[in-house]
Amino acid sequence: MKNIPLTIEVTYLVSGEKRPVYFASEAGADAALNISADFEKRKINVQDARDVRPAASLDRESFALARHNTNVHTFYGLDFQQQLYEQEISELVMQASGSTRALVFDHTLRSDSAQVRARRNTREPAAIIHNDYTDQSAHQRVVDLLGARQARDVFTKRFAIVNVWRSVAGAVLRSPMACCDATTIAPEDLVASERRAKERVGEIELATWNPAHRWYYYPELANNEALLIKTFDSSTAGIATRTIHTAFDDPFSPETAPPRESIESRLLVFFD
């Protein structure tokens, strides 16, 4: 049996005078984190989110677990069933968030095995504490996807960005995802950082150490489960608008545990 909470080591940003720059990796065996900034390792306690009552929610902690069976046969051939999967997760996120429309705009496959990455042409786990969007980059993403005219209409109402994270192999026994309770994050903990990729320059948020942070994870996330992470919300109603998260090494992972293979999908959701 695992002892909960686990004590694990995670990577926080060390504040500096220079703006951090995150260089998005290329898929493949050599895919690795590349960030021009200073970091520090911190030991934290991470609790089993399955024990939280009431269950974690998108509008309180900014993450939630959902039971979700999919009809997708293989995520490595998603092109052939992409429309099916995007319909499935759009319905899932709309139900969990209370939104009325959803637009899936990205899928990223990852593995903590260089062999799997080479064979499947996937990326590495994001083992740095981060949030995917700043206020500026979230708004810019809407413009990029919908165009300036339609974006202006979107900005008159509430919108959000939600990630759907799941295993594409067996249960997640290695490199699971930890999420921070959004109610424990102070605005000054988050540092806007440049994100450079081949196709686009944007922004993400890195995080500095705060002992008030409360961390959670879902042990052995199964194939019929999906982790929902809200990375931006334009709401001003006092609900959670984002959370930080990171992959981590589970000290209880058996040496024979299979590599983590996962997919994260990003959705714009609208509240009409």
In tens, the pLDDT along 171-219 reads 999 999 999 999 999 999 999 998 988 888 899 999 999 999 999 999 9
CA angle 95, 127, 37 (to 5 degrees): 120
Q: Average pLDDT in the 216-241 region?
A: 97
Residue 39's CB is within 10 A of a number of other CB atoms, namely 17
CA angle 230, 232, 236 (to 5 degrees): 110
**In sequence order, which residues have a C-beta less than 8 Å from that of residue 225 and are 6 or more positions away?**
65, 66, 67, 68, 166, 218
Strands (E), 68-157: 101-111, 130-131
For residue 32, pLDDT over 90 is answered with no
Does 27 map to a domain?
Answer: yes
For residue 269, pLDDT over 90 is answered with yes
Q: 3 falls in which pLDDT band (50, 70, 90)? A: very low
- pLDDT score at 201: 87
Does 71 map to a domain?
Answer: yes
Listed range (14-28, 37-51, 130-144) with the worst mean pLDDT = 14-28
Question: Do 112 and 175 contact (CB within 8 A), yes or no?
Answer: yes
- pLDDT score at 99: 96
In whole angstroms, give the CA distance from residue 241 to residue 133.
11
Does 1 map to a domain?
Answer: no
Q: What global pTM score does this model have?
A: 0.95
In whole angstroms, give the CA distance from residue 137 to residue 205.
10
In whole angstroms, give the CA distance from residue 228 to residue 244.
13
Does 16 map to a domain?
Answer: yes
Q: 1 falls in which pLDDT band (50, 70, 90)? A: very low
Does 48 map to a domain?
Answer: yes
Bridge pairing between strands 245-247 and 101-111: unpaired
- pLDDT score at 158: 98
For residue 2, pLDDT over 80 is answered with no
Does 110 map to a domain?
Answer: yes
How many structural domains does the chain have? 1
Domain extent for 102? 6-271
- pLDDT score at 4: 63
Q: 5 falls in which pLDDT band (50, 70, 90)? A: confident
Q: What is the mean pLDDT of the chain?
A: 94
Token representation of residue 150: 């339609």
pLDDT in tens, 116-132: 999 999 999 999 999 99
pLDDT in tens, 49-95: 999 999 999 999 999 999 999 999 999 989 889 999 999 999 999 99
Does 43 map to a domain?
Answer: yes
Q: 44 falls in which pLDDT band (50, 70, 90)? A: very high
